[in-house]
Chain A
Amino acid sequence: MLRSRKTRVAASLLTLALLATACSSRDDSDDDASTGGDEDAAASSDIPTEDCVSDPTAEIEGDVIKLASSYPQSGTYAAYSEIARGWKAYFDKVNAEGGVEVGDRTFQIEYTDKDDQYNPGQTSANIDEMFGPEGDGAFAAFSIVGTANNVAIRETLGEMCIPNLFAATGSPQWGNPDYPWMLGSTLSPYTLEAKVFADLLAELKPDATVAILRQDDDFGDAYEEGFRMAIEGTDIEVVEVQEYNAASGEVGAQMTTLAGTNADAFLNGAALLPCPSALTAAAEAGWKPITWVSGTCISKTLMGIAGEAGADAYAAANLMDPLNPDWDDDPAMVEYLETINEYQGADFDPGNAIVGYGYTQAAIFVEALKAAEAPTRLAVMESMHNLDGISDVGLLLPGVSVSTSPEDSFLGETLQLAQYEWTTPDESHFVPQGDLLEFEGETAEHSPEELING
């Protein structure tokens, strides 16, 4: 390979020198940039290991499992750093209780993290630095925040056969079989959320007209295309779609357009501040559709900003909401609050949903570690690909179980429909509606193929 690169460099430099810039000749056939295409082992249950740069079957030396993470700790997206406070608290607790048993050895869990300011280039640099050129700086990558940030590192980690686990976004592409070393988290794939909304509309108003607000990126694609797929063959109709740029944070004009349609339903696929802004704008325009808010918007802060304008909005989740007083006496919730208090201090609000999210991912990971046959990367990855109905850990809702299989890489496929009940700023929360919705193993059916393998 090296030889051929040398020849090609020489050849192309020569070509340039002759000024025969070869742009015109389109003999570039298939250099397939999205790589990973050389492994068609997805169908078989085994994770391919023959091309691994480092040996994934080597047992951990010493008694420490070292995890590495990269997420925004400064800059505009610094608020996401609260996820880490959740998982750090859980790991600290496990360590204090003696550690975790993998195979027949007991390990402490150590973690290290770096700030990437939500910038994929920095994530990539952080990962290179934390793992080192031999890939031995840490055992696995854990809870990296951001879709683009995970895309930026998945090939590198995949080639080195290093597990990249609990990617903290709901992108459906974490089910891409080309990247067996990477998995998402319990955050449901956004396409499943869209499916739940479509089902809800089919029940409430089978001939609904729908207006969609979406981000102008893959996050928006997942909602819009997932929803369009879910309403195929029904009388539900999308009448208007408006996009906004994540950086602008301003959706006034888009909402004026959407409200102008006076559609029956509103799929609010906005994240962060644009989410409550959109709800407020809809209310101010006097538009009262059946509203769905993105799962990323379920938080005390964001829904609190929308306030009354968010009343009755639907969303889906699979974790207990610390704000819901029904859980106040639940042992899992009590333990969560105690753990956070003890290991992460009291200078922030554990009622923020993303803290509980981080905490739960750590809990599931510890279960996966226990189920692994040996303290090796391969065994842990296989364990993660064969989760067998893990339930009642972390803040998972009662009855929600997390399962994966070699054919199904999605963790968050059980959802609970919930509706926002507006009372006072401190007491408002999402109230569960109806039974759990079970989509185990179905995400691929409900997601356009290009969103998974894109």
Chain B
Amino acid sequence: MATDQPGMAAVPTLGGGPEDLAAPPETGRPSLWPPVPRRVLIIRMVIGVVLAVAALWAPFYFEPAMNRVLSQAIYIAIAAMGLNLLTGFNGQVSIGHGAFYGVGAFTSAILMIDHGWTFEPTIVVAAVLSAALGVLVGVPALRVRGLYLALVTLGLAVLFPLVTQKYVDGSGGVPLLRPPRREFASLIDGLADDQWAYFLSLAIMVVLFLLAWNLVRGRMGRAMIAVRDQEIAASTVGVNLAATKVGTFAISAAYAGIAGSLSVMVDKLADGTSAILYFQRSIEFLVAMTIGGAATILGPAVGALVLVLLRRNTQDLIEGKEVLAPALFGASLIFIVFVLPEGLVGGVRRMIASVGRRSSATGRPPTHPPSDDSHA
């Protein structure tokens, strides 16, 4: 399956300065989503079923604190998927998704606190507002590319908490919004609040991942990928560049906004106190996407899970030398990138593919294999 793969760069170059790092690809349209051998399909289905069972069983096995961590992995996965659509599939690099996430979080918190809304409907508004901001950013992004786009979006993430610090006035005079906890109470008898938060997040994630899967396999997805790999060529064959790029930006931002909204349910607050929190979030989304596997469907979820588990365990690992926790975390990231350059999902998929093929595949694997996983 990999042999007929066009040699495309996984992600756009961060160049745009003096040189262009992208390898010139010869795009062959029909081969974008090649058929999958049966053996590979079976292995994938088995993995899928195992993951699904694990995901459904986990919240009954773990303590509430761990369920919260898992729920955090879910909302980070959603945002990382948003970023994946933009960066992985469409080639626009953003380090500003923390800001869209923040807009989602504060939208939900403000609607609940100042307008008496109950939580669930605020998710929709959060998605809409974030998408609107996404359009606002996406339009100038038509002119700004690669490295420069990364920097402009970085600015967005830096700016966001300053804006909340200036304009949000929560209880106690701090820019911290805490909707009443009872507003997040479980709606299903027999599910504790933490389990409810987990399952609601999970359900939303599954829906959004299916939508993303559907999107990238459809017309829009072909346009997105074509724009990523050869923008000018794509425009000559009738892809509407502006609509594709701005549209992707909006959808991507909406995903991040929904993630932010869910974070209010999981963490019970929207935090505007820290100047670097939303920059950190942006980085986390990027990290989850990359270590999971850019331009894959399952990648963001796997990456997010690994990310939160790493973060949690590096904190407890070193009693007495807590200042080192970020170093361990950083070192783990570097390690993963070294061992699995295509991300965890990419690496695993290559293993499965080689099992499926039996015959040895020589030569370098493509920078990223096509993505045709369904879901977990």
A interface residues with partner B (beta carbon < 8 Å): 1-2, 5-6, 8-9, 12-13, 15-16, 21, 23, 26, 28-29, 31, 33-35, 73-75, 78, 81, 114-115, 118-121, 124-125, 128-129, 132-133, 147-148, 151-152, 154-156, 159, 171, 173, 216-218, 221, 245-248, 451, 454
Instruction: Kindly state the separation between the CA atoms of A140 and B45 in the bound complex, as whole angstroms.
Output: 49
- The answer on a CB contact under 8 Å between A156 and B176 is no
Q: Are A118 and B121 in contact (CB under 8 A)?
A: no
- A residues near B274, Cβ cutoff 8 Å: 118-120, 247
A33 touches B125 (CB 8 A): no
Name the contact of A13 in the complex, choosing from B121, B322, B323 (C-beta under 8 A). Answer: B121
The answer to whether B182 has its CB under 8 Å from any CB of chain A is yes
User: Could you list some 10 contacts between A and B, CB below 8 A?
Assistant: A16-B121, A33-B179, A33-B180, A74-B325, A121-B277, A125-B267, A129-B65, A148-B273, A218-B174, A245-B275
Query: With A and B bound together, what is the CA distance between A154 and B322 in angstroms?
Result: 25
Within the assembled complex, what's the spacing in Å between the Cα atoms of A247 and B125? 31
B280-329 CB contacts (< 8 Å) to partner A: 315, 322-326
Q: Which of B172, B175, B315 has the most CB of A within 10 A?
A: B172
**What is the minimal beta-carbon distance from A277 to any residue of chain B, in angstroms?**
17
Contact partner of A125 among B68, B187, B273, B276, CB < 8 A? B68
Per-position contact with A for B149-176: 1 when CB-CB < 8 Å, else 0? 0000000000000100110001111111
CB atoms of A120 and B65 under 8 A apart: no
- Return chain A residues, CB-CB under 8 Å to B183: 5
Q: Do B271 and A5 touch across chains, with their CB atoms under 8 A apart?
A: no
Which of B117, B162, B326 has the largest count of A CB atoms less than 10 A from its CB?
Answer: B117
B113 contacts chain A at the CB level, 8 A cutoff? yes
Q: How far is the CA of A451 from the CA of B169 in the complex (A)?
A: 12
Judge whether A152 and B117 touch: CB under 8 Å.
no
Which B residues contact A (CB, under 8 angstroms)?
A: 63-65, 68, 112-121, 124-125, 162, 165-166, 170-183, 185, 187, 192, 194, 267-269, 271, 273-277, 315, 322-326
B121 touches A12 (CB 8 A): yes
Inter-subunit contact A8/B118 (CB<8 Å)? yes
Q: B65 near A119 (CB under 8 angstroms)?
A: no
Chain A residue, CB-CB nearest to B173: A218
Q: A5-B185, A128-B64 are in contact. Are A151 and B116 (CB under 8 A)?
A: no
B299 CB to nearest A CB, Å: 25
Q: Is the CB of A115 within 8 A of B170?
A: no
- Pair B172/A28 contact, Cβ less than 8 Å: no
Name which residue of chain A comes closest to B66, CB basis.
A129
Query: A34, B171: Cβ atoms under 8 Å?
Result: yes
**Contact B323 A5, beta carbon cutoff 8 Å:** no
- In the docked arrangement, what's the CA distance between A26 and B277, Å? 32
A-B residue pairs, 10 tightest by C-beta: A247-B275, A218-B173, A73-B322, A129-B65, A151-B172, A33-B113, A28-B116, A148-B174, A31-B116, A12-B121
The answer, among B125, B178, B192, B271, for a CB contact under 8 Å with A155, is: B178
CB <8 Å contact, B118 and A5: yes
Among A1, A21, A247, A451, point to the contact of B182 (Cβ < 8 A): A1
**Alpha-carbon distance between A216 and B325 when the two chains are bound, in angstroms:** 30
- Assembled-state Cα–Cα distance A119/B173 (Å): 16
Across-interface contacts of A118 in B (CB, < 8 A): 274
Most buried by A among B179, B322, B324: B322
* A284 CB → nearest B CB, Å: 26
Cα distance A13–B322 in the bound complex, in angstroms:
45
- The reply to whether B275 and A246 form a contact with Cβ atoms under 8 Å apart is yes
Chain B residues lying within 8 Å of A31, measured Cβ to Cβ, are 113, 116
* Extra A-B contacts (12), CB below 8 Å, given A28-B116, A78-B322: A1-B182, A23-B115, A34-B171, A119-B271, A120-B176, A120-B271, A125-B267, A133-B192, A155-B178, A216-B166, A217-B273, A451-B173
Given the complex, which residues of A lie within 8 Å of B118, measured CB to CB? 5, 8-9, 12
B180 surroundings in chain A (CB, below 8 A):
33, 35
The docked-state distance in angstroms from the alpha carbon of A124 to that of B263 is 13
Partner of B124, one of A5, A16, A125, A217: A16
Q: How far is the CA of A96 from the CA of B268 in the complex (A)?
A: 40
* A120 & B269 in contact (Cβ 8 Å cutoff): yes
Q: Which residues of A contact B273 (CB under 8 A)?
A: 119-120, 148, 217
Residues of A within 8 A of B121 (CB): 9, 12-13, 15-16
Task: Report whether B176 and A151 are in contact in the complex, using a CB–CB cutoff of 8 Å.
Answer: yes
Tell me, in angstroms, the Cα distance from A1 to B267 when the chains sit together. 21
In the complex, the answer to whether A121 meets B120 with C-beta atoms within 8 Å is no
Please tell me if the beta carbons of B322 and A124 are within 8 angstroms of each other in the complex: no
A248 / chain B contacts, CB cutoff of 8 Å: 275
In the complex, are the beta carbons of B120 and A128 less than 8 A apart?
Answer: no
Measured between beta carbons, the chain A residues less than 8 angstroms from B177 are 33
